[in-house]
Amino acid sequence: MFTGLVEGQGRIESMEKRGGDMLFRFHPLFAWDAPEIGESVACNGVCLTMETWIPTGPSFTAFASAETLSCSNLGGLSVGGLVNMERAMAMGDRFGGHIVSGHVDTVARVESVRNVGQSRCVRLAFEAEWSTQIVPKGSVTLDGISLTVNDCGPGFLEVNIIPETWRVTTVANWRAGTAVNLETDVIGKYVKHLMQPYAGAGTAAREERVTMDFLRRNGFGL
């Protein structure tokens, strides 16, 4: 699990195709204490597993599966490119962002970046099916960055980027058309899943009372 608070950037040193998968070698551009083989690392918001650690550099390797490449922007990056990095959250750490799983839902596209005071307002477009899981003032993860949704609607959202985020992440490289990994709030996903059996229920179903028969039909052995 991650929090969406980017620790620093990493540079892609190599990309090697292995069938439909891709073996990446990343060079972290920030201090990395006590690396552990098998640990989870969010790279542009994608949860990857450290395969090897190379002390000289330093650098590490991680595989991205064909499925991961198909629903994220990792496959479209190139050697020398930068990614946002965050190591998995440790028990007892300060929790400053929101719950981030590292499982990207879809790729959004930057539509515009405009100055608003000292910050920037970024508008992104994506497939409208994901809009039901995004709410105003809710949380969203973009390329691994925990951000608050300023505005949203069918197929779009807007976020505000403060100067510090602009300075320490890859957001400064975003332009119209840039592909950005989007992960919606995991809590919203669970709520939507739990409510699906009741979606479109008729008046009779909504008015059903809790009776002994109702409890038996729903798994309570009374």
Quick: pLDDT tens for 170-215.
Answer: 999 999 999 999 999 988 888 888 877 777 655 444 445 667 776 6
Low-confidence stretches of the chain (pLDDT < 70) are 200-210, 214-215, 218, 221-222
Q: What is the pLDDT of residue 222?
A: 54
Residue range(s) in the chain whose domain bears CATH number 2.40.30.20: 8-87, 106-197
Alpha helices, H only, the chain: 66-70, 163-168, 186-195, 203-206, 212-217
Residue type, 7: E
**What residues have CB less than 8 Å from 194, skipping those under 6 apart?**
none
Domain at 106-197, CATH class? mainly beta
Q: Rounded to two decimals, what is the model's pTM? A: 0.86
Element spanning 119, H or E: strand 119-125
Is 152 within 8 Å of 160 (Cβ atoms)? Answer: no
* Closest to 15 in 3D by CA, of 68, 66, 64: 64
pLDDT value of residue 119? 96
User: At residue 68, what are phi and psi to the nearest 5 degrees?
Assistant: -65, -45
Closest CA to 60 of 94, 30, 26, 110: 26
For residue range 74-84, what is the model confidence (pLDDT) as tens digits? 999 999 999 99
Q: Cis before residue 197, ω within 30 degrees of 0? A: no
Q: Which conformational region is residue 37 in: left (phi greater than 0), alpha (psi within -120 to 50 degrees), or beta?
A: beta
- Residue 154 preceded by cis peptide, ω within 30: no
Residues near 62 by Cβ (< 8 Å), separated by ≥ 6? Answer: 23, 24, 26, 41, 43, 48, 49, 50, 51
Q: If you ran DSSP here, which 8-state letter would residue 88 be given? A: P
Q: What is the CATH number that goes with domain 8-87? A: 2.40.30.20
C-alpha 105/C-alpha 126 separation (Å) is 10
